[in-house]
Structure 1
């Protein structure tokens, strides 16, 4: 670690952190612990657990997690079961965290690191950093206000969108570093930043999966597959958030076309759009037969639920090219299963799958394309094996936790990391 970084504290601001089960919380937990083990002084500013948690999960205001100091807001947080509850949580977290950081008294020079969620957090952290004279690194997981515009919540031309876009441009321009998740997202961020923005400050660092936690597993040796009747039928599965920006409608409609064939679809998870997806399956007469639904699985069961099928699904809504990159892609590749990628051909997810020959890409709404892909895999076990092996190999070469956290260290410190500590390796 350089002398400069020895005198600096890095404050990671994230709504989700351990023990929250949101993918962002898992990633930010691993990032903070990994950077601390590599020599950076990390302090996490976060909320009370609220993603799938109840009041019994309330955490102390100050604690230490795997060597990382964690400070939490004291304000109540609702369980995120509806949009109004999320809006409340977002507003409380953003305002509370802004005030807490403004009045804080760091012992050393401080640099902020924050993610793009909640939606107004980047603008609030830009204002805090300007007032306190701090540098900051902005990690773009979801691009705002592009996401609510694409979902139809806002118009491209209304006053709120224009004001939000302008403030967001300031946040991009003044950042020391901007981290994005792929080349398409990088292009969109640079375009949104407008004239005078330095594209050299935008770094591509992919999200990741723990290569030792999720490993390829044969269905015949997987208790989860056996328990849910997935060993014999050819199984196509989705696991994760069921939101409006995930195109699972195409999946269910394709399942209806395959109703009389030996194919099983499994959708695991919860989200704002689950009711609509379940109702669609009911209308098409495939619920509980061709398409099964399960809730989120316990953390200890994930190595089995995420490897329970023959092909895994990654699906994004049309118009979201460069707005986000699905973290499910890295998990699917870690599991060593071919990926059915429902996205535009030039989206970041499609590029990765195609370049690695790790699956088949199909455009949103192309029901027949999904049907043909599933039939091709079902009738060609060798193709399933080859693409699954390609997926795992590409994952190990590009999307492991060690590789990505090393890249974050280099961005924040300006130097290549030394080997991580023995304690970190044993812990992970």
Structure 2
């Protein structure tokens, strides 16, 4: 049966008008696949990620030609881990029964993302019971994520059971999507000895090339408003969570001296923000060298995300292959050099190195971060060159059209997905 004769169901906790990165990406994906001729239906939740003014959405609606069905169960704002966990359980259970009891119009194929954490197991079970093919998109690899962040012990009862169930979820998938080669390798190891690694396709996340464009600080009202024009600015914007190592950057800021005219701007919220603010305060840097701002309105993002000289992308040690920061693609789109806090072989570092678009430093190595900052401040032409390289690589490999085309090829049985071009360094160099 051709892809045009199927019904495709995308299951995602976040969807328009949700401002979480997963919601924006899944909205782009559903609309893009619909525009390419696939019959898309989205099963999703109510907006709840940020504490903004997102109003409750109707249970059934249409967004740019895509049918959207939302859960009717209560959901709460995600202001704590407990509240987030409540939403995860409610969403996963609702999706399981909604799909189990649904009546497809024709042959159905399900596409789902790895969040909430137990959703893949629920989707594997319901698709197995109903006889549906499914594609498993891995944004965060569980249960590895919970082990690396200290929620469960490796080899414990929860980890063992969860790993076993996830092996079934991987094994039953028609396709598995990884965000990079390191993640692909880790999935292949986690999916069990009988798993076929050829199922895994690398499809990177993306950013809207028209929404985020390079912008000089002198022509950026956000830079002017926050006194960033005349100081060399390192910018971090996004979730401040357990899997983001901002401590190393704060410690590096504390090692700079008065001759280093450098500002660190951290925009966002998250479970670890209070700890990062306290660390900056202990060094006496909050409000001077280190500034904090809350999440910015969507309309302001083209300005806030381009307000610095260098963008920061950071992951916690041990997260190699567990996730790939969505901030990487936004930083590339912004046309700024990228300070990557990660292991040298991690996906983020490998991409930045292949594009010659920044400098990598290991987690905890604040001296390396200081060295990177001083390398840039001593050679502003390097800043310009690496920023240009970042935007050129973004336009070549990381736009919405590039990635959605690869998803379409994956789901359309008459096409094949080409190898990931970013891992072929000759293409970058050409």
Match of 2:274 in 1: 275
Match of 1:301 in 2: 300
What is the distance in 1 between the residues matched to 2:310 and 2:377?
Answer: 10
Kept in 2, the 8 Å contact 1:259–1:286? The answer is no
Structure 1 position 153 matched with structure 2 position 159 = no
> Which of structure 1's runs of 4+ aligned residues deviate more than 6 A?
none
Q: Deviations over 1:316-351 (max 9, x none)?
A: 000000000001000000000000000000000000
1:6 to partner: Cα distance:
2.4
Structure 1 position 197 matched with structure 2 position 176 = no
Kept in 2, the 8 Å contact 1:409–1:415? The answer is no
Kept in 1, the 8 Å contact 2:3–2:413? The answer is no
CA RMSD of aligned residues (A): 1.1
1:124 to partner: Cα distance:
0.3
Match of 1:115 in 2: 113
Stretches of structure 2 lacking an aligned partner (at least 5 in a row): 417-430
Kept in 2, the 8 Å contact 1:317–1:364? The answer is yes
Give SS of 2:2's match.
Answer: helix
Match of 1:61 in 2: 59
1:173-184 maps to which residues of 2 (within 5 A)? 173-184=171-182
Equivalences, count: 415
What is the distance in 2 between the residues matched to 1:297 and 1:6?
Answer: 40
Match of 2:422 in 1: none
Match of 2:420 in 1: none
1:54 to partner: Cα distance:
5.7
Kept in 2, the 8 Å contact 1:338–1:391? The answer is yes
Name the TM-score, length of structure 1 as normaliser.
0.96
What is the distance in 2 between the residues matched to 1:243 and 1:264?
Answer: 21
Give SS of 1:57's match.
Answer: coil
Match of 1:98 in 2: 96
Kept in 2, the 8 Å contact 1:10–1:40? The answer is yes
1:208-247 maps to which residues of 2 (within 5 A)? 208-247=206-245
Match of 2:425 in 1: none
Q: Deviations over 1:172-195 (max 9, x none)?
A: 001000000000000000011121
Stretches of structure 1 lacking an aligned partner (at least 5 in a row): 418-428
Kept in 2, the 8 Å contact 1:406–1:416? The answer is no
1:316-355 maps to which residues of 2 (within 5 A)? 316-355=315-354
What is the distance in 1 between the residues matched to 2:194 and 2:120?
Answer: 19
Kept in 2, the 8 Å contact 1:54–1:79? The answer is no
What is the distance in 2 between the residues matched to 1:54 and 1:326?
Answer: 23
1:4 to partner: Cα distance:
1.6
What is the distance in 1 between the residues matched to 2:159 and 2:62?
Answer: 39
Match of 1:312 in 2: 311
1:258 to partner: Cα distance:
1.8
1:259 to partner: Cα distance:
4.9
Moved more, 192-201 or 13-22: 192-201
Give SS of 1:136's match.
Answer: strand
Q: Deviations over 1:30-65 (max 9, x none)?
A: 000000000000000000000014686100000000
Give SS of 1:388's match.
Answer: helix
1:416 to partner: Cα distance:
5.1
Q: Deviations over 1:370-405 (max 9, x none)?
A: 001001101111000000000011111111100000
